[in-house]
Structure 1
């Protein structure tokens, strides 16, 4: 199966073309943007497709990072994935950043329980726990640093993600720390996406409300006809 994977959930804007039979990435493109995913994503996808030397007609599935992460970035990636899937009449699947971070940790440190922990801002930790086979033990949720530390100890989990060091410091000397990034290599999103069964269309995974909200004082009154 030839799959296009997209990740815009963090500062990266990444895409790759992956062959699930050969288990190989044939083309990839990655930009470290911070912001501006909407302006650059199509170009990144084009570069990955050109490197792989495949046409869109060869794609059989789209995989996309659905968060948690940047509100705007996640929306951009999910919208693009759903658009590609609709136009090409192929399935799209969502992969959470947490399961991808955990998968990288297992790949690096071997099969074990992994607690993926991301800095959610406002003092929150976005976390999920997966067993040695990647099965979900604790669903993604927002929690305090103290609660995250307790969960890591409860599950004897390796910590991975952008908040791993902070959670480990809170928990004490026991938890081991793996990769400490807000996302992971686009190849891992592709591998996880290839292994999933297509179902509902991918949608953003938000664990807290957006920072930007309408200012009530500037809302115009509705005109009744």
Structure 2
């Protein structure tokens, strides 16, 4: 089965084509955008598929990173994956950024528990803990820095994700640390999705609401039209 993987969870706008049967990546395109995923994603997908030498009819599944991550980026990636799945009559498969990062940490330090943790602002951390077999034992959830540090100590975990250095510092002891990025390599998402197979339709994993909210000072007061005569 040929699988298309998409990631818009962080700054990167990434896509790759993966041959699940051969366990081989066929083509990829990765752009470090910061913003503007919606404008670039289809071109990124087209480039990855051209490099891989396949067309849309060759795809057997669409995989996508579902977060936690950028509020807008997640919506762009998930809606695109689900739209392709609907049009091509193939399954869409979601993979969280935390499990993808944890898989990379487990690859670097086999046979160890892994705490995947991302800085979320407001002194909060988005975290998930995985055991030696990469089975999720906690989260994904919002945690405090002291709480994440205590969890890491208790599990003697490898740390991955953007919050890993802060957790190690808060714990006051050394840890083995894997990737400290905001998202995993695009091929990691493809491999994990190929192992999952079809399931529920992916949807963005938001552990808290969007930061952008209407400002009261810019809300116009309602006018009472009943006195206009």
Give the TM-score of the pair, scaled to structure 1: 0.95
Q: What's the offset of the Cα at 1:197?
A: 3.2
> Is residue 2:141 matched to residue 1:141?
yes
- Match of 1:204, SS? coil
Q: Match of 2:219?
A: 218
Q: Match of 1:188?
A: 188
Pairs aligned (count): 224
Q: Match of 2:178?
A: 178
Q: 1:222 and 1:161 mapped to 2: Cα distance?
A: 50
- Match of 1:122, SS? coil
Q: Match of 1:40?
A: 40
> Is residue 2:197 matched to residue 1:204?
no
Q: Which moved more, 1:8-17 or 1:126-135?
A: 126-135
Q: Which moved more, 1:175-184 or 1:212-221?
A: 212-221
Q: 1:143 and 1:87 mapped to 2: Cα distance?
A: 39
Q: 1:220 and 1:87 mapped to 2: Cα distance?
A: 44
Q: What's the offset of the Cα at 1:155?
A: 1.3
Structure 1 residues 117 and 222: alpha-carbon distance in aligned structure 2, compared to 1, 3 A threshold: farther
CA RMSD of aligned residues (A): 1.6
Q: What's the offset of the Cα at 1:178?
A: 1.5
- Match of 1:168, SS? helix
- Match of 2:38, SS? helix
- Match of 1:57, SS? helix
Tell me if the contact between 1:153 and 1:174 (Cα under 8 Å) persists in the aligned partners.
Answer: no
Give unmatched runs, 5+ long, in structure 2. none
Q: 1:201 and 1:47 mapped to 2: Cα distance?
A: 25
Give unmatched runs, 5+ long, in structure 1. none
Q: Which moved more, 1:169-178 or 1:77-86?
A: 169-178
> Is residue 2:93 matched to residue 1:93?
yes
Q: What's the offset of the Cα at 1:111?
A: 2.3
Q: What's the offset of the Cα at 1:98?
A: 0.2
Q: Map Cα deviations across residues 46-79 of structure 1 (whole Å, 9 max, x no partner).
A: 0000000101000000110000011011110001
Q: Which moved more, 1:6-15 or 1:101-110?
A: 101-110
Q: What's the offset of the Cα at 1:28?
A: 0.2
> Is residue 2:105 matched to residue 1:105?
yes
- Match of 1:121, SS? coil
1:67-78 pair list within 5 angstroms:
67-78=67-78
Q: What's the offset of the Cα at 1:220?
A: 6.8
Q: Which moved more, 1:211-220 or 1:190-199?
A: 211-220
Structure 1 residues 23 and 222: alpha-carbon distance in aligned structure 2, compared to 1, 3 A threshold: farther
- Match of 1:203, SS? coil
Q: Match of 1:17?
A: 17
Give the TM-score of the pair, scaled to structure 2: 0.94
Q: Match of 1:31?
A: 31
Tell me if the contact between 1:17 and 1:49 (Cα under 8 Å) persists in the aligned partners.
Answer: yes
Q: What's the offset of the Cα at 1:214?
A: 2.1
> Is residue 2:28 matched to residue 1:65?
no
Q: 2:43 and 2:213 mapped to 1: Cα distance?
A: 30
